[in-house]
Amino acid sequence: MSMKIKGEHSSRSFASRKWTLLLCLGSFCVGMFFTDRMWSIPESKGISRPSVTEAERLKLISEGCNPKSLYQKEVKRDPQALFGEVSNTHNAIQKLDKTISSLEMELAAARSVQESLQIGAPVSDDMGKKQPQGKRRYFMVIGINTAFSSRKRRDSVRATWMPQGEKRKRLEEEKGIIIRFVIGHSATAGGILDRAIEAEDRKHGDFLTLDHVEGYLELSGKTKTYFSTAFSMWDADFYVKVDDDVHVNIATLGETLVRHRKKQRVYIGCMKSGPVLSQKGVRYHEPEYWKFGENGNKYFRHATGQLYAISRDLASYISINQHVLHKYANEDVSLGAWFIGIDVKHIDDRRLCCGTPPDCEWKAQAGNICVASFDWTCSGICRSADRIKEVHRRCGEGENALWSATF
């Protein structure tokens, strides 16, 4: 009985193994069938493949991997053409950078004016007359620096090189030239000195009054305020500062400036580099002499203060940064210092600092008319109220030169 049971169990076990083996083999076949169906990539009928022969394929490979072939291809390029491409790219980048810089300065200037209006900053009468939108573009603004005590000097300028009345209006309309005497106010605003200037302005209408306290030691601040105010009032190509004891030929000044009209960040004048005076009590003493190094050092190059001109973008720069620009004792040094750290074109023109007769007279006779004439010993025309008429007679360009000039 026991042997029979063992035999039956053994036959069943063998049958079970046989069916298991067949089941595994069947599953493997079914899996291979489905795998082949899922992973087979059909050949695209719509895409035509170019036929490349074995020889062409070997040629492409050999040319692409041959260093000598690659080197020969690079050598075939003209070095001058490569240099020209690099140079053109560099110039384009520089031009774009200057354009972006100018736009940023104009935007900041517009914001500065808007902020001044919002906080109610005091403005001159001419400021109230200006038109912020669509105002005309002038050629140049000439600011004649003057003081309360300089009435005789102003009258002598009016009688010589500065047009008056209808001629001054015609100068603005036809030539785009604005001329104003530039003055601040006294320490006690509305006092007798201020009233005298107001009466003079009612008679002549040729003042630009600044929000600035007058004083010889405050000339740097006055210069900064002048450029900022003039820039906000008149949109001009150039802004000029001249002292009231200097003779100016306006047409020659215009012909000089117009040659630099298309240039950016232009600073024009008689460039000098005088000594830094550390000794107290002397004229032009520099209290901050230690900033310029050892004793005996000279200033950096800057335009002499009798007359200089700056382009529109530099006036904008001063207007934007007027609250952080440092003021030295001498205003011409201050102006030069403001331009030290930026890309400015310094133009040294000696016609802006001729001497009085016979110097300017000889030059005029030789056909080289001076822009400005003064005496170096007096930093202006000595006794200008009495002598400027003589300088004008002997060195002046003539009235017709101004009206026939084209800027």
The band of 132, judged by pLDDT with boundaries at 50, 70 and 90, is: very low
Q: Among 266, 340, 265, 348, which residue's Cα sits nearest to residue 299?
A: 340
Beta strands in 137-265 (DSSP E): 137-145, 177-185, 207-213, 235-243, 247-248
Residue 378 within a domain? yes
Per DSSP, the three-state class of 268 is strand
Q: Looking at the predicted structure, is the pLDDT value of residue 6 above 50?
A: no
pLDDT at 32: 61
User: Could you report how far apart the first and last alpha carbons of the chain are, in Å?
Assistant: 136
- Model confidence over 239-253: pLDDT tens digits? 999 999 999 999 999
Report d(CA 172, CA 250) in Å as an integer: 13
What's the rounded Cα separation, in Å, for the pair 102 and 110?
12
CA-wise closest residue to 247 among 357, 335, 363, 339? 357
CA angle 90–95–98, rounded 5-degree value: 125
Question: Is there a domain that residue 349 lies in?
Answer: no
Task: Give dist(CA 86, CA 80) in Å, integer.
Answer: 10
Number of domains forming the structure of the chain: 1
Domain enclosing residue 164, as ranges: 138-254+307-326+355-404
* pLDDT tens digits along 314-358: 999 999 999 999 999 999 999 999 999 999 999 999 999 999 999
Residue 365 belongs to some domain of the structure: yes
Domain contains 399: yes
Q: Which tokens in the block code for residue 405? A: 């000039």
Name the pLDDT band for 399 (thresholds 50, 70, 90).
Answer: confident
In a domain, residue 363? The reply is: yes
Sorted by sequence, the CB contacts under 8 Å of residue 244 that are 6+ apart come out as 144, 145, 146, 147, 150, 153, 154, 157, 181, 384
In this structure, which amino acid lies at residue 108?
A: A
SS (H, E, C) 199-225: HHHHHHCCEEEEEEECCHHHHHHHHHH
109 located within any domain? no
Percent of the chain at pLDDT exceeding 70: 68
| pLDDT 10s digits, 162-208 | 999 999 999 999 999 999 999 999 998 889 999 999 999 999 999 99
CA atoms within 13 A on the CB side of 176: 17
Q: Are 124 and 210 in contact (CB under 8 A)?
A: yes
Task: Look at the pTM and tell me if it is higher than 0.75.
Answer: no
Q: Which residue has the higher pLDDT, 23 or 407?
A: 407
| Domain-embedded: residue 377 | yes
Is residue 264 in a domain?
no
Q: Please check the confidence at residue 22 and state whether its pLDDT lies above 50.
A: yes
